[in-house]
Amino acid sequence: MSLYQSFGVDPIINACGSVTRLGGAPMSPEVLKAFQEAASEWVPLEQLQAAASKKIAAHTGAEAGLVTSGAAGALTLGTAAILAGHNMRRIEQLPHCDEFPHEFIIAREQRSGYDHAVRAAGARLVEVGFNEIVSNAGVRRTESWEYAAAITENTAGIVYVHAADSQPALPEVVEVARQHQLPVLVDAAGELPPRDNLKAILATGADLVVFSGGKAIRGPQSTGLLCGKRELISSAALQMLDMDDHFELWQPPADLIDTSLFQGLPRHGIGRALKVSKEEIIALLTALELFASGAYDEQNQEFQSWLEMIGEELELAQVHATCYLATPVSNERWPLLDIHIDEEAVGTAFKVCQRLRQGTPPIYVGHAGLHEGMLTINPLCLTAQDARTLAVRLCEELK
């Protein structure tokens, strides 16, 4: 019996990838070993975060960094840092910030449920641009002058969601922000691989960049990275770390928190609810090392062979579906298998997806293309045995 079954929960086959809903990315044996070893000793967390900052800086080219509770936690902390800096009154007031600039400009087309993490710190989002291409009412996307035109004395910063085709390009937005001495907070949670993005996004001059630790980096799914300007990371650390000490004794590493900026010891900040454990910090740093070194790349060949096998099995079984194996150009990425199903013959993709989830074992496939009649197989969280089971179940459902 699996551990989860002993708690009354059936494990699933995850053909969906590193999604949070299903438990995140697989952790390598090195990462798990580091997690376990880290649990057997104790360290002051401010010292550990200061050491993490140096590692993160080395991998990203940022001045400093922080291990956070997911990219979402990093967005809240980054926003809190921009809003409050080292102002003790503001730190205490968050998320209430009527007394000081608290508006963040964001392109309307970049809004998503994740910006709740920015609003959670107290920021108010001010939208610019339209979504005219989606509404089929125009041909232009957001333009950088629209950010400039929206800046007022209430503006605290700009939030930018990074994607390969984001418009306007990040350097243009950073330029507008520079001209008005405003910080830019970039959500790049899922923008790895390519590995280059660890450095390239910060190299645009963005003040803070957020990455998820539980996606391609394959750290604990509850972790993330906040990296960028030293002062802002310092404020974020201060608002996250536990503050239950005496001012006379408080000696955080000076490169993380400069105590001379304070007249007393701040209370727990808004980020105290977003704490990370020593084990999570060590595990994420171990995973970051593996990711950045390219250690995960060699597994992509194996992933490819599993998807080829599934495609061949489906073809042999003459199922009511056509497979398309998308082999990536870069060896940093793993392939995906798209299965276009004949909905007349076997029911809608939604129905097939549901039958797979309700089967034994439950199987969760990628569901981004259901409206187009397509299932996607992401091999990241599969084992060789899972891949065989998946092939059998797909043949049954698509026959």
* Shortest Å distance, C-beta 71 to ligand PLP: 3
* Shortest Å distance, C-beta 147 to ligand PLP: 19
First-to-last CA distance in the chain? 31
Per-residue x/- track, 221-250, ligand PLP (CB under 6 A):
---x--------------------------
| Closer by beta carbon to ligand PLP, 292 or else 309 | 292
| Closer by beta carbon to ligand PLP, 29 or else 113 | 113
* Shortest Å distance, C-beta 187 to ligand PLP: 5
Contact (Cβ atoms closer than 8 angstroms) between residue 288 and residue 217? yes
Contact (Cβ atoms closer than 8 angstroms) between residue 217 and residue 286? no
- Euclidean distance between CA atoms 272 and 95, whole angstroms: 13
Cis peptide upstream of residue 220 (ω within 30 degrees of 0): no
* Shortest Å distance, C-beta 224 to ligand PLP: 4
Best CA proximity match to 48, nearest among 73, 28, 65, 62? 65
- Only one of the segments 89-97, 186-194, 289-297, 301-309 lies at the binding site for ligand PLP (rule: CB under 6 A); that segment is 186-194
Q: Which of 14, 76, 212, 300 binds ligand PLP (CB under 6 A)?
A: 212
Strands (E), 321-398: 321-326, 336-341, 363-365, 374-377
* Shortest Å distance, C-beta 173 to ligand PLP: 16
Interface with ligand PLP, residue 214, by CB under 6 A: yes
Q: CA separation (Å) from 11 to 2, 94, 201, 385?
A: 8, 40, 37, 14
* Shortest Å distance, C-beta 386 to ligand PLP: 23
* Shortest Å distance, C-beta 208 to ligand PLP: 14
| Closer by beta carbon to ligand PLP, 62 or else 276 | 276
| Closer by beta carbon to ligand PLP, 117 or else 339 | 117
- Euclidean distance between CA atoms 215 and 221, whole angstroms: 7
Interface with ligand PLP, residue 71, by CB under 6 A: yes
Q: Which of 12, 13, 72, 97 binds ligand PLP (CB under 6 A)?
A: 72
- Euclidean distance between CA atoms 83 and 66, whole angstroms: 17
Interface with ligand PLP in residues 11-70 (CB under 6 A): 20, 70
Contact (Cβ atoms closer than 8 angstroms) between residue 308 and residue 325? yes
Contact (Cβ atoms closer than 8 angstroms) between residue 185 and residue 202? no
Interface with ligand PLP, residue 114, by CB under 6 A: yes
Q: CA separation (Å) from 303 to 197, 216, 299, 315?
A: 23, 15, 6, 19
| Closer by beta carbon to ligand PLP, 72 or else 241 | 72
* Shortest Å distance, C-beta 345 to ligand PLP: 34
Q: Which of 173, 182, 189, 241 binds ligand PLP (CB under 6 A)?
A: 189
Contacts of 41 (CB under 8 A, 6+ apart): none
Taking CB atoms, the residue at the shortest distance from ligand PLP is 70
User: In the chain, what are the helix, strand and coil shares in percent, each to the nearest 5?
Assistant: 45, 15, 40
**DSSP secondary structure letters along 78-135:** HHHHHHHTT-HHHHHHTT--TTS--EEEEEGGG--GGGHHHHTTT-EEEEES--TTTT
| Closer by beta carbon to ligand PLP, 48 or else 71 | 71
Per-residue x/- track, 149-168, ligand PLP (CB under 6 A):
------------x-------
Interface with ligand PLP in residues 287-316 (CB under 6 A): none
* Shortest Å distance, C-beta 338 to ligand PLP: 20
The residues that touch ligand PLP, with contacts defined as CB under 6 A, are 20, 70-72, 114, 161, 187, 189-190, 212, 214, 224
